[in-house]
Amino acid sequence: MRWDNLRLADPGRADPAAPLFARGAVTRTFDTPGFRGMTFYEIQARSIVNRVPAASRVPFEYTINPYRGCGHRCVYCFARKTHEYLDLDAGADFDSKIVVKVNAAELARKELAAPRWRGQHVAMGTNVDCYQRAEGRYRLMRGILAALRDAANPFSVLTKGTLILRDLDLLTEAADRAEVGANLSVGFVDADVWRSVEPGTPAPHRRLETCATLNDNGIACGVLMAPILPYLTDSPAQLDRTVREIAQAGATHITPIVLHLRPGAREWWLAWLSREHPRLVPRYLELYGRGAYAPKAYQERVTAQVRALAEHHGVGRAPAADPPLRPGRGSPARARRASGRIRG
């Protein structure tokens, strides 16, 4: 999606000196600790339910993304490149210049009710995190979830944000009407690596607590164990600890993914690596010298290790606690969630 489906929120506040997109946005800053140094560009999107290009190798066809850029600031973030479409850079701008589609909820309600819409699954959190810090202020997800609930439309959420629990009421209401899944993204639990690599995110143990709470409340939640970072979080002991804690959180399933470095993320990651772990630079150049992905043999070895550990620690075997069904809440989706078979 580019700027051609976005338009001016308030032409009277446009700044002629701003970059191309910002001339069509209301610009805000907030002088509070969590938002210092950040700029928010409030825009009116023209559409919000986005069809994924057929060439994409992703297991979903439609997405909703109310934000562009992400204050979680993960160094490796694969979405960095998309900020360049906005005349912004994929590094610091991606972390601190956040585009907010302030009419996202209104559009979602309209598009989900359109005669041409067939109620397909909608994936959220697939480009940038829909429960990043900005969501605490803009609260766009509440309106989007309410629209999905009212349309009885199936959906899933992928996030690192514990803020998702704010919307537990809407998630459970939606899950009574359609299939709802969630995944928390927790690639590792090492606190030092977390502070350095994912500085704007909630701590991994808090994300795992969030996963547990979602499952306790009947929202099937797994863990996307991503990214696994070569030479930083891939030792047998680190993998074992991470998978053990994921199992203890009651995750319904685990999906391991090794770091990939597409353009945009690649430059930002290698610059960080040169500062923080210069001795690893040659090893990374060897692993990622031919492209965005680590060699297949490496990926298969790590994935097999995680799968064996998941089996050993019983990921998915601990049945998610299911609160007693209240009258009128015994939907098939809810019954399947109790068996842990739906994946986010």
Q: How far is the CB of 128 from ligand SF4 (least distance, A)?
A: 4
For ligand SF4, give the closer residue by CB, 151 or 223.
223
For ligand SF4, give the closer residue by CB, 98 or 175.
98
E strand residue ranges, the chain: 6-7, 26-28, 39-45, 49-51, 62-64, 67-68, 97-101, 122-124, 155-159, 180-185, 220-228, 254-258
The site for ligand SF4 (CB under 6 A) is made up of 70, 72-74, 77, 79, 128-129, 132, 160, 201
Q: Which two tokens stand for residue 60?
A: 């979903």
Q: How far is the CB of 12 from ligand SF4 (least distance, A)?
A: 32
Q: How far is CA 19 from CA 23, 97, 222, in A?
A: 6, 12, 40
**Distance between CA atoms of 330 and 307, rounded to whole angstroms?**
33
For ligand SF4, give the closer residue by CB, 224 or 333.
224
Q: How far is the CB of 77 from ligand SF4 (least distance, A)?
A: 3
Backbone angles phi, psi at 277, to 5 degrees: -140, 65
Q: How far is the CB of 73 from ligand SF4 (least distance, A)?
A: 6
For ligand SF4, give the closer residue by CB, 129 or 234.
129
For ligand SF4, give the closer residue by CB, 72 or 149.
72
For ligand SF4, give the closer residue by CB, 197 or 251.
197
* Contact predicate 159/131, CB 8 Å: yes
Backbone angles phi, psi at 147, to 5 degrees: -65, -40
Q: How far is the CB of 220 from ligand SF4 (least distance, A)?
A: 21
Backbone angles phi, psi at 308, to 5 degrees: -65, -40
Q: How far is the CB of 162 from ligand SF4 (least distance, A)?
A: 12
Tokens 């909820």 belong to residue? 105
